[in-house]
Structure 1
Amino acid sequence: MKDDNTLIPIEETSITNLIYTIRGKQVMIDRDLADLYQVQTKRLNEQVKRNSARFPEEFCFRLSTEEKNELVANCDRFTTMKHSSSNPYAFTEQGIAMLSAVLKSDIAVEVSIRIMNSFVEMRKFLLSNQQLFSRLDRVELKQLETDKKLEEVFNYIASNTEVKQKIFFDGQIYDAFRFIADLIGKAQSKLILIDNYVDVNTLNILCKKNSEVDVLIATSGKGNLTTKDMNKFNAQYPSLSVKTTKDFHDRFLIIDDKEGYFIGASIKDAGKKSFAITKIEDGKLVQDLINKVK
């Protein structure tokens, strides 16, 4: 295990091979994450325990003995866990995003972005092939090792109808994160985020955008976003620009200069307190917001 802050080059394809489907969720195991973050597994889990409020079960859960045994049986590199009295933790995509905040290192931020990019690419693959998958009959589906992943895809498609208003209550962090990420994923060319409190957690959500989408953040600068954070984001997810303005109090998300949403809380804090997201039906109001940002 390295003790310095040198980032070891990681291929996103190799990260994809570390993603498993457990309890119907795509997850990564704590010791794999520790290797990527260049920390001890014990230290990683200690940080999670110290910040337990940030890791609800939707973000992180401990494997049962049966789940651990199945993992060991299918993955030779986990054989050392076979006789361990402690079962490993599994982290969902949102839990991995939160890890970058609690580990507080440049490596953690960089690696978390790459990991989430791998999650995005895996979802794109499954979604782009959903027509092929839908033609398979039930017998063929049972023969696939990707049953659970397909189920997630179909559930997503079935529930992916437009929602014009949504309220999230305290603790619904995963639901809020997923809803905002889905909105961001709708953009085809441009996103405008108006939010006075932005930091690296904001960028962790914005990286859900499509690769050809440009992002403009209008903010008063009250958050902790640094030039270094912006440069790292732009290196992998161009292009991001930030405009400093004190013209706004509320938060808004504008998609492709056409679709606007009022957001009752900074997206970095989504789900930590009760808040609402409402679609702005008046196109003129959306255009007024765009003109104000310019």
Structure 2
Amino acid sequence: MQIIVSIQNRIYEIRGERVMLDFDLAALYEVPTKVLNQAVKRNVKRFPADFMFRLTAAEWKTIRSQIVTPSESDGVLRSQIVTASQSKRNTTVAPYAFTEQGVAMLSGILNSDKAIQMNIAIMRAFVEIRKILLKENDLKEQMKEIKDRIGEHDVQLNQIYDAMENLLDEKAAERKWDERERIGFKRK
């Protein structure tokens, strides 16, 4: 489960897609980023635009501000997302982003045992994220349903209050002033 959480921290949302970056995948597969990218270039026909794309300079700048290399100060890591391989990366070149299908396609070109194990873990991480999103959507729908019901109940309660007020007003109008029960001191 620890590895899945680690992988989930390396999944980003870019252009409306959940993707993993080449250097994160290389770190997980325990190969240099250059080797991973060379394997992809040798098999470029397997990676259409919806499987893999290169980040724009603006996207890379945004992502780079979120990714921090580990810097220890007083023995405490000062980042939310720590990527050890990032320190060796040429930061002027934007990385490749692989969608879930692109990561699955990587399993066909990287055949080491580590790559196979990591691919299975990555696929499980994507599935877990999808489950979480489905639960969120389900909760949103339930909340909307509850809100609609409460709205209906408010209308019905207001109608009941109005009807009760009307009944009380009618009862008060029916009583005659002279027939009312006297209150206060009575003289004999």
Q: Tell me the TM-score normalised to structure 2 length.
A: 0.62
* 1:18 and 1:28 in contact (8 A); partners too: yes
Q: Distance in 2 between matches of 1:25 and 1:127?
A: 16
CA gap 1:126/1:41 in 2 versus in 1, 3 angstroms: same
Q: What SS does the aligned partner of 1:87 have?
A: coil
Query: How many correspondences in the alignment?
Result: 128
**1:130 pairs with one of 103, 128, 137:** 137
Relative to structure 1, is the Cα distance of residues 44 and 122 closer, same or farther in structure 2, using a 3 angstrom cutoff? same
Q: 1:70 to 1:58 in 2, by over 3 A?
A: same
Q: For residue 32 of structure 1, what is the aligned residue in structure 2?
A: 24
Residue 82 to residue 109, structure 1, CA distance change in 2 (3 Å): closer
Q: Could you tell me which runs of 5 or more consecutive residues in structure 1 were left unpaired when the two chains were aligned.
A: 1-8, 137-294
Moved beyond 4 Å, runs of 4+: 78-83
For residues 54 and 70 of structure 1, what CA distance do their matches in structure 2 show? 28
Taking only the aligned residue pairs, the percentage that are identical comes to 47
Aligned match of 2:96: 89
Residue 11 of structure 1 deviates from its aligned partner by: 1.6
1:82 and 1:30 map into 2 onto residues whose CA distance is: 10
Shift, 1:103, TM fit: 1.3
Q: 1:11 to 1:80 in 2, by over 3 A?
A: closer
Matched with 2:75 is none
RMSD: 2.3
Computing the radius of gyration from Cα coordinates, the structure with the larger value is 2
Q: Deviations over 1:87-122 (max 9, x none)?
A: 101111111111111012121111101101000011
State the distance in 2 between where 1:83 and 1:97 align. 26
Q: Which residue of 2 aligns with 1:14?
A: 6
How far, CA to CA, are the matches of 2:89 and 2:22 in structure 1? 15
Q: 1:81 to 1:58 in 2, by over 3 A?
A: farther
Mapped partners of 2:88, 2:57: distance in 1: 10
Q: Counterpart amino acid of 1:11?
A: I
Q: How does 1:61-140 map to 2 (within 5 A)?
A: 61-77=53-69, 80=87, 84-134=91-141, 135=143
Q: Specify whether residues 34 and 82 from structure 1 end up closer, same or farther in structure 2 by C-alpha distance, changes over 3 A only.
A: closer
**What residue in structure 2 maps to residue 286 of structure 1?**
none
Report the residue type matching 1:71 in the other structure. Answer: I
Q: Which deviations, in whole Å up to 9, do the C-alpha atoms of 1:111-160 show, x marking residues without a partner?
A: 10110100001100110221333558xxxxxxxxxxxxxxxxxxxxxxxx
Where do residues 96-245 of structure 1 align in structure 2 (5 Å cutoff)? 96-134=103-141, 135=143
Question: Gaps (5+ residues) in structure 2?
Answer: 70-82, 145-188
Q: 1:28 to 1:54 in 2, by over 3 A?
A: same
Structure number with higher relative contact order (C-alpha < 8 Å, ≥ 6 residues apart): 2
Cα pair 1:101 1:109 within 8 Å, conserved: no
Q: What SS does structure 1 have at the residue aligned with 2:13?
A: strand
Alpha-carbon deviation of 1:36? 0.5
| In structure 2, C-alpha distance between the alignment counterparts of 1:101 and 1:82, rounded to whole Å | 25
Give the TM-score normalised by the residue count of structure 1. Answer: 0.41
Aligned with 2:48: secondary structure? coil
